[in-house]
Structure 1
Amino acid sequence: GTYLTSSEIDVIAFVAPDATLNIISDWQVKEKRSISIPEILEGTFNCPNTLCPTNARYGAPNTRFRVERGEQLEETKLHCTYCGSITYYGTIRDSIQSESFRIERRGLVSKGKIESVFLDVLIKGGALRFPPSPDQPFTLKSGRPSPYFVNLGALTDGESLGKLKWAFASYIALLVEEGEIPDFDYVFGPSYKGISLAALTCEGLNELYGMDKRYMYDRKEAKDYGDLSSDQVLVGAGYFKPGQRLLVVDDTITTGITKVETIEKLRMLGDHEVVGLVIAVDRQERLGDKDNVEDISAVQYLEQELGLKVHSIQNIESIYGLIKDSLSEEMRSLWLGYYRRYGTVKLG
């Protein structure tokens, strides 16, 4: 399951009239509602009259049908409101079951909406931090003097966690729906920050989109007590079956070293496939440290050398474009100088 458009709900009503929908508000399931066959059906099926002008030649049909219900589902008929032609249930069913049947869709949750909500929770929740002054930048693990710091661990209140869950689950559901990543069995979160993120993502996928997945995470140090058969290094691996797929989630990516370590640990599973990496923010930096700067970014390295496709909810170019007017001239100068030296993008 995933989010549905109204056209898809109408189609479901013709094949599964007893189905129910999750109605979502404020990132939570507020109501379960039964599906019913609509009185009017638009833009889903072609009129059987090939001369009817509602049958678009180069696009989706724009036929408008009046739905006539019978006592039995099989007695349902569609009446074209333009030419009066009738479509019977058997034709409807055969059309839905045909390999060529497609619905032009746009998800209820757009990528732009996800990006906007996510940036809002980053800033309001204190997960996107700025230094107290341009003279006191954050020092990253790489030694680079950064003008900002992303820390999803700062999101500890229930409201922020609810929005974080919604953003990751919605973004991943969108990626699956659009074919950007194949379906998967596990969400993997690298310790430590990735653990809670993987758990929240699993809960959100199931609660909001009916996608029931397991989650797994690694230990920084191997366990040497209790049951060592399944979770000595990879917790949750006891349910793993050969050939299953994993999606990795994490907060950000700078040098990519921790992501390479994650891929190496996952080799302990044996036969498996990592379908992609979803991160909160792509810093859009080149590999290296404070003094050594390479030509490619961490994302490019992971994609080219490891074949790991990286997807980010937000990237620093978009974030800077939205916040730059609120920065002082000195702070903007710090950002611009940092990305001239270390960035894969030039900030304007």
Structure 2
Amino acid sequence: MTACPKTATPRAPWAPGVGVAAVATAIAWGVHSLVPAVPILTVCVLLGVIVAQIPAARPAVDGVLAPGLTLAAKRLLRIGVVLLGLKLSLVDVAGLGWLTVVVVVAILAATFFVTWALGRWARLPGDQPLLLAAGFSICGASAIGAMSAVTRDRGRDAATPVALVTLCGTAAIAILPPIASALGLTDMQFGAWTGASVHDVGQVVATAQTAGASALAIAIVVKLTRVVMLAPVVAITSLIMRRRGGDVGARPPIVPLFVVGFLVAVVLRTVVPIPEGVLGAADLLQTVLLGLALFGLGTGIRFEKLARTGGRAVAVGLASWIFIAVVSLGAVQLLPLA
């Protein structure tokens, strides 16, 4: 008697999804090369959103590609966040002066709590208020992914906040420069405003570079000062979620491992003379990993669902975007910037 052959189980079920995300990231890189003002990570999210709207692609997105897209949106994103820490030198942050640092942190805190309160008032589902607050106040989709790693939903509520923060951050590239020109802001003021109000690092670079090198330099330092706050905000959230959790086994760690890795990377960048080649390679890898992750997050967005349930989230996101833009604009005009 001949035994029935066993169905082969794929050794790497994540490979198809990660492979498609890699192709999308390569396309995004090509778009950025042709149009440098368009950030790579923004294109990655948009490509994921576009793929998710194609009816013929959905069976694959929800089927064979799902394990790899989930791996990218969760585990690879966390590794990318760790590598993001190598961009940060506490010496550069200190170079802003204590008053500027305090103002930037205060704007972040105010935006976080205002956005969270608006989300709760609008009765947004699940952890959307918290994820919107993290994305709009800290560093866009990367912060949303990091925060979703320690919340109850484990990423289920992340799609709408990622879409909104990407939309608003991309719009800022076109909207902020003419406003700055009309208001007569100096290059330094415009750079500080961009760094304090635009969400994703790539979007900050794309916006600030329109005003020259000095604006770009201060924009990056101000922005990375906001990124530094990702670690304590996520750690505090994790501690709160742990105290509220019922099952001890389901509680997140007090300080998530990727947050520890992020802090270690920041310290290394500050105290160790890392060769430029190593930093360049880490930056390249970080961009690739976050590109894969944001494509994966983008594939979770369904416009028809957003149209049915996302109206309140859109209103909260727009209100948060206007709030941080207006408050940070007033603040940078009061700071002693040349």
TM range (shorter): under 0.3
Q: Which has the higher contact order (CA 8 A, sep 6+)?
A: 2
**Higher-Rg member (1/2):** 1
Greater strand content: 1
- TM-score by length of structure 2 reads 0.26
